[in-house]
Amino acid sequence: MPFFRLIFRFLPLILLATLLAGCATPVTVTSSPEGAAVYCRGSGRPAYRWKFRGNTPVTFKVPYNAIQTFVQWPGASGRRSEVRQDKLLFEDEAKLHFVQTE
């Protein structure tokens, strides 16, 4: 019986770890044209830093309730999209699409 007592003792910690690990929301970013560099950060705190997440199309997970995202278009121009804000709270997934304008 000591084994079961040990399990019940650590069960709340195991459940909490499982819940926290599953709280990240998958975000898929696409663009026209493809190949744009994707940058993302949490929204709501000035301390969040921009992170490179890959080139479109790309899917990544974020642990935030809201995000800010922009893409830098391929090529030497260095142009980028407007920063977009999206709320992710209670969302199963997020799909973002950026279109390059002239």
Q: What residue spans define the domains of the chain?
A: 24-99
User: Residue 11: its pLDDT value, please?
Assistant: 73
Pair 49, 25: CB distance under 8 Å: no
User: Residue 45: its pLDDT value, please?
Assistant: 81
User: Residue 19: its pLDDT value, please?
Assistant: 55
Hey, which CATH number is domain 24-99, 3.40.50.1370, 1.10.357.10, 3.40.50.300, 2.60.40.1110? 2.60.40.1110
User: Residue 64: its pLDDT value, please?
Assistant: 82
Question: Can you give the pLDDT of all 102 residues of the chain as single tens digits?
Answer: 577 777 777 777 766 655 555 578 899 999 999 999 999 999 888 889 999 999 999 999 998 889 999 999 988 677 999 999 999 888 889 999 999 987
